[in-house]
Amino acid sequence: MGTQTFGQPATADPGWALLARVAAGETDAFTVLVDIHQERLLRLCERLLGDAEEARDAAQDVFLKAFRKAAELRPQGQVYTWLYRIAVNHCLNKLRRRRLVRFLRFSDPADEEDGGVSFDPPDRGADPAATLEARRRWQATRKAIEKLPAGQRAVLVLARFEGLSYRQIAEVLGITEGAVESRLFRAMRRVEGAQEMNASRVPRKEGLR
């Protein structure tokens, strides 16, 4: 935690000037805005949705929403906070939709291998055992995150994988720091339970071989 790569005061954030140009209809300014924030937003969407391809579509939607809303904005806080908020809401909506579709199909996410998400981990080098082990850990994490309620999932992803402080998360989600702490605590408890269950399953599977 505490990786605050973009904690500048509102006045120092050049993003607002850029947004003003976007609002005036300058699409070149919009290209620059996307260029600045694309890496973070794509990563956030991928962490929340668990799928790189879906994340690309989501990030594009987020930027287009920002483009449409640019004229309505007043410089307040940080541009990234506003973009993160749009992204989190958009992704959580997508997740709810996904959950509802599963419910209507009477399918249990636990029945789907890898929690319904396929991973394509990059080649980490020569050691296949290490790659397999890393893949197992990633899948366990993804499953644990998928089982969290939307609010807890957002807080956990922002804290663990985006390195945002409690204050920054509170700004992004529009909640209090106390609520961030409380959600994170509950998320950690659930994840701990999932990790324990996962750990107790692994030796049993190996014993069957």
Give the Cα separation of 185 and 156 in Å (integer): 9
Contact segment (CB under 8 A) with another protein among 9-17, 74-82, 188-196, 200-208 equals: 188-196
Binding residue for another protein, selected from 9, 11, 74, 104, defined by CB under 8 A: 104
Contact call for residue 105 and another protein (CB under 8 A): yes
> Which residues are CB-contacts of 139 (< 8 A; sequence separation ≥ 6)?
114, 115, 119
Binding residue for another protein, selected from 128, 185, 197, 202, defined by CB under 8 A: 185
Binding residue for another protein, selected from 5, 71, 128, 167, defined by CB under 8 A: 167
Helical pair 177-208 and 166-173, crossing angle rounded to 10 deg: 100
Query: Judged by CB, which is closer to another protein: 5, or 93?
Result: 93
HSE-CB of 83 using CA atoms within 13 angstroms: 26
Contact segment (CB under 8 A) with another protein among 11-19, 40-48, 73-81, 201-209 equals: 40-48
Residues 46-85 touching another protein, rule: CB under 8 A, are 46-47, 52, 55-56, 59-60, 63-64, 67-68
Applying CB under 8 A, which residues contact another protein? 1-2, 25, 27-28, 30-31, 34-35, 38-39, 42-43, 46-47, 52, 55-56, 59-60, 63-64, 67-68, 93, 96-97, 100-101, 104-105, 119, 121-122, 134-135, 137-138, 140-142, 144-145, 149-152, 156, 159-161, 165-167, 176-179, 181-186, 188-189, 191-192, 195
